[in-house]
Structure 1
Amino acid sequence: MFQLHNKSSYTLEDIEDNSIDAIVTDPPYGISYQNNYWDKDLPSREVWENSFKKIKHGGFGLVFSSVRLMHRLMVDLEDSGFLIKDVLFWSYLNGMPKSRNVGLLIDKELGVESEKVGEYKYVQGYKKEGADSYKTSKKYKLSPSSELGKIYDGAGLGLKPAYEPIILIQKPLEKGLNVAKNVVKYGTGALNFEETRIPYEKNEGKVGHNPHEKGRVSSNIIRTDKQEDGYDKFFLVPKVRQHKDDFNFHPTLKPVELMQHLVKLTTFQDQTILDPFMGSGSTGVACMELKRKFIGYELDENYIEIAKRRIDESLKKPELF
């Protein structure tokens, strides 16, 4: 039902060609997130070239990325043979601003001591040692002292991030086949709208020119918070909150609910999902809970042990049988 490989996914030599139904993965973004060793660079194009060989004709993939380097990853995917079909946005309101106060930087450059105007507690977490390594320290709130620093007080270096892009890719249909013939032959080539429809809210009338009993077709926007705009509705999934008692300390953990949505969108029951960058196994957990088969690769021994534990625990849930 699932296979976990503690090795590089670049060759994918354990997998038969044209045997994978879909790819759902969260690879390194190449932005040195929190200075983690595994996020120094984008993955080599080799992994996408081999993924292309392993996936069936018409099979879809969903690949997480960063705004900064999404374009380079898309080029690698396209040059490997995949079609770029869309980009989904997982949007949220609680992104962490990654900036600095330019006014304080100017003070430092001019050799001027900034004024201490208050104190606050800083919680340092998401460490490799796990959530128990959280540290709380007292920090001073500073305000620029120099005249130029005061002018630039509060100026920053980047906008607050509010979404993550997820690239939707597809291996082309087999030459000479239309969608229906490709689905008959391989079981791939169509997105699973029925399992991912957004139900109507209580007392809400059906919408659209040809309303469906189960609700709206899922869009390319996934939100963490409800958006009241009177018509469009989006699939909602909150970000993960790490707690000190959790054993999973992966710093870029994705919610299982989000991965369930992506797994349902790209596959049907009993089909096989490949995750070349498994991390702590959220995609694998989602596959088990949705009765999909799963093949995951992860280099870090700690994370693969966490993934195995999470998947094993998910299989114990009585509702799966």
Structure 2
Amino acid sequence: MKNKLLTDRAALFLGDAAHVDAVLAPNSVDAIVTDPPAGIGFMGREWDSDKGGRDAWVAWLADVMRKALHVLKPGGHALVWALPRTSHWTATALEDAGFEIRDVVLHLFGTGFPKSLDVSQAIDKQRGNMDEVRLVTGWIAEMRDLAGLTNTRIDAAFGLNGMAGHWTTQGAQPEVPHAAHWPKLLELLGVDELPETIRETTERLVAEKGKPGPNWFRRAITGHHETASPGQRWKARHGHRANLSNSARRDEPATEAALEWAGWGTALKPAAEHWILCRKPLVGTVASNVQQWRTGALNVSACRIPHADPRDLAESKSRNPGRAEPVTSAVYGTSRPQQRIDEAGRWPANVTLDEVAAELLDAQVPGSGASRFFYVAKSSKTERNVGCDHLPARVTNIADVPGSKGANSPRAGANRSGAAQNHHPTVKSIALMRWLCRLITPPGGTVLDLFAGSGSTGVAALAEGFEFVGIERDSDYVEIANARLRHELGPEAEIAHLYMG
């Protein structure tokens, strides 16, 4: 594991978080604030794979957190991010690692993008060729078994996450590999050429990829989309021939089955994330543990939510607190402007609320929204790129393999784009991370982030006056985090390079 040390206040380790106990001393860290993978194959990224299923994923995270427990001081708290639909996996892993689950901080936001499949459209787009598709996937599965392969090994050869399961299933969601996948797949299977029947069927199915069935074209044209289809825009971005004309809208069902399911989808708009609050078991009582280790308690006073003057709320709601320009807000801590308050403030709740959602609450019940909660927007492009001007801009996008799960699935982040120096796909708001660090870290304490990503937790910890240790296995992200941390520390920060065995 390689270590890059930034002065004496922040350290970045390039390597696997499972080795944290090899580079940090026992009982040396005051708090853990970290954003681990969710196990959903986000944007087709290998690092977010489910490791082979629920039990394997839970065992993996439990092992990492067990090592982290070893370096955390007795009574030390951890705030561990999780998506709602896999937060029970995360909580189970934390318990298995030896942590006590104390609460869940719920972060609400109004800017999530819906990733639902329109069931009515899906019905009319059916091509009715599932028997032929399963003929091909059945042959691939047979050859896989003869070659002594597993789906995991096939995925690894392509740098994919779970796609081999679609290529070999006889159940739901079978998928014929894209033309670009076949040469390598045949090599893996030890097959020189496809049997004639499989070859003809495969060529026809590959040619039909991306094309809807005949019932789709029975739908009347009801208008045109403002831009070309997402698939065509993806092709254009990746150098493929693309039709960038505005595609026709066909909103009215063409079949009785599609009409029956009009208005139905498959997912809710994402508007909440969980931060699981847990604690390493105390040594003795809270009072004795706090005095001996300075851990075991929450910094309630520093995290109270002031009641704001309505004039400040009106001004704040007109802007985005995730932007770089100064705003009047109660959420940023001592180094940012504060709202005027009419009382000491509310007890920190296990709900944090962003500006959009707060405004919705205020509209429904006047006075019940922003003035009652800590609210903060998601990280803006400006905020995430601070300190990274010298780095090359890259696109935050789906997997670069046509037909991959990341390329096709809106739930995996399909068609996200936008070049940025900080190209990490899940950058957290500095304001949010400052509040979380402040809640569980004693003055002058050290915050550990096991999955440091682009360094948002580190920037927040330093801004709050804490020390920071981050671990990240992706060298590109370490470079981004290094730049952001150095910017936070100031130009006088000198970087030393240490190498760990």
Report the TM-score range of the alignment, normalised by the length of the smaller protein: 0.7 to 0.9
Per-residue CA deviations over 1:157-210 (Å, capped at 9, x if unaligned) read 121121011100101111xx2111111100001001122111221279xxxxxx
Query: Which of these residues, 107, 116, 120, is aligned with residue 226 of structure 2?
Result: 120
Q: Distance in 2 between matches of 1:139 and 1:180?
A: 66
Aligned to 1:221: 351
Residue type at the aligned position of 1:9? A
Aligned residues of 1:90 and 1:221 also touching (Cα < 8 A): yes
Equivalence for 1:142: 250
1:120 aligned partner, one-letter code: E
Q: Give the structure 2 partner of residue 30 of structure 1.
A: 39
Deviation at 1:122, TM superposition (A): 6.1
SS in structure 2 opposite 1:268?
A: coil
Asked if the contact 1:179/1:190 (under 8 Å) is kept, the reply is: yes
Task: Report the CA distance shift for 1:303/1:53 in structure 2 as closer, same or farther (over 3 A).
Answer: same
Distance in 2 between residues matched to 1:91 and 1:287, nearest whole Å: 22
Aligned position for 2:438: 264
2:154 — aligned with what?
A: none
The one-letter amino acid paired with 1:113 is: W
Going by fraction, where is strand more abundant, 1 or 2? 1
> Residue type of the partner of 2:216?
E
**What SS does structure 1 have at the residue aligned with 2:305?**
coil
Q: Which amino acid aligns with 1:316?
A: G
Total equivalences in the alignment: 302
Q: 2:294 is matched with which residue: 183, 187, 204?
A: 187
Q: Is the 8 A contact 2:120 2:259 kept in 1?
A: yes
Distance 1:106 1:201, change over 3 A: same
- Aligned ranges for residues 202-221 of structure 1 at < 5 Å? 202=309, 214-221=344-351
Superposed CA deviations along residues 258-280 of structure 1, whole A, max 9, x for unmatched, are 10010000112210011000000
The change in CA–CA distance for 1:212 and 1:275 in structure 2 (over 3 A counts) is farther
Alignment of 1:226-245 (within 5 A): 226=358, 227-228=361-362, 229=365, 230=367, 233-242=372-381
What residue in structure 1 maps to residue 10 of structure 2? 2
Q: Which residue of 1 aligns with 2:147?
A: none
Counterpart amino acid of residue 185 in structure 1: Q
Between 309-318 and 165-174, the greater mean CA deviation after superposition = 309-318
Alpha-carbon spacing, 1:88–1:140, altered in 2? closer, same or farther (3 Å): farther
Establish whether residue 95 from structure 1 lines up as the match of residue 112 from structure 2: yes
Kept in 2: contact 1:120–1:141 (CA 8 A): no
User: Aligned to 2:447, what secondary structure does the other structure show?
Assistant: strand
Distance (Å, rounded) in 1 between the aligned partners of 2:447 and 2:16? 17
Over the matched positions of the two proteins, sequence identity in percent amounts to: 36
Q: Describe the superposition over 1:188-247 as per-residue Cα deviations: whole angstroms up to 9, x where unpaired.
A: 01001122111221279xxxxxx9953212111111122434457110110123365741
- 1:80-131 deviation digits (Å, cap 9, x = unpaired): 110110111110122111211111111122641243432222697xxxxxx9
Unaligned runs of 5+ in 1: 125-130, 205-210
What's the TM-score once normalised by structure 2's chain length?
A: 0.57
Contact 2:307 2:342 in 1 (8 A): no
Give TM-score, length-normalised by structure 1.
0.87
Root mean square deviation, CA, Å: 2.6
**Matched residue, 2:278:** 169
Amino acid aligned to 2:81: F
Give the direction of change, closer, same or farther, for the CA distance of 1:262–1:136 in structure 2 (3 Å limit): farther
Q: Measure the CA separation in 1 of the matches of 2:487 and 2:125.
A: 52
**Which residue in 2 is equivalent to 1:40?**
49
Amino acid paired to 1:36: R
Rounded to whole Å, the distance in 1 between the matches of 2:80 and 2:12 is 19
The match for 1:293 among 467, 470, 487 is 467
- Name the counterpart of 1:251: 425
Query: SS state of the match for residue 88, structure 1?
Result: strand
Distance 1:265 1:103 in 2: 46
Q: Which has the higher helix share?
A: 2
- SS of equivalent residue, structure 1 residue 44: helix
The C-alpha deviation readout for 1:22-75, integer Å capped at 9, x for no partner, is 100000000111212211124432101111111111100000001111111111
Q: Distance in 2 between matches of 1:62 and 1:33?
A: 21
SS at 1:10 equivalent? helix
Which residue of the partner structure matches residue 280 of structure 1?
454
1: CA distance, partners of 2:377 / 2:100:
29
Aligned position for 1:207: none
Contact preservation (8 Å) 2:309, 2:342? no
Structure 2: segments with no counterpart, 5+ residues: 1-8, 51-56, 129-212, 231-236, 312-340, 383-417, 493-501
The answer on whether the counterparts of 2:448 and 2:468 sit within 8 Å (CA) in structure 1 is yes
Aligned twin of 1:128 = none
- Which range moves more in the overlay, 28-37 or 304-313? 28-37
